[in-house]
Amino acid sequence: MSRLLITFGIILIAVGLLWPFIQKLGLGRLPGDLAFGGENFRVYIPITTSILISLALTFILWLINR
């Protein structure tokens, strides 16, 4: 369990450090990502981005388990 948590933490740190580069690729502003709000608030629901990240992680983990 501790190895899993450490691995997850390292992945989160890597994503955090790479986030400026990820935004340049357009992730977070894809068609299907919902963003709406009023004058004093904003709601953002990244549906398409979440699906793409899920597919990529599923593929990577599938490759690792083979």
Cα separation, 48 vs 58, whole angstroms:
15
The pLDDT of residue 64 is above 90: no
Q: 45 forms bridges with which residues in the sheet?
A: 34
Q: Are the C-beta atoms of residues 34 and 47 closer than 8 Å to each other?
A: yes
Total-model pTM: 0.63
State the first-to-last Cα distance of the chain, in angstroms, to the nearest integer: 21
* b/e map 32-48, b = 16+ CB within 10 Å: ebeeeeeeeeeeeebeb
- Reported as a single tens digit per residue, the pLDDT across 50-62 is 999 899 989 988 8
What residue numbers bound the domain in which 48 lies? 2-65
Count of domains observed in the chain: 1
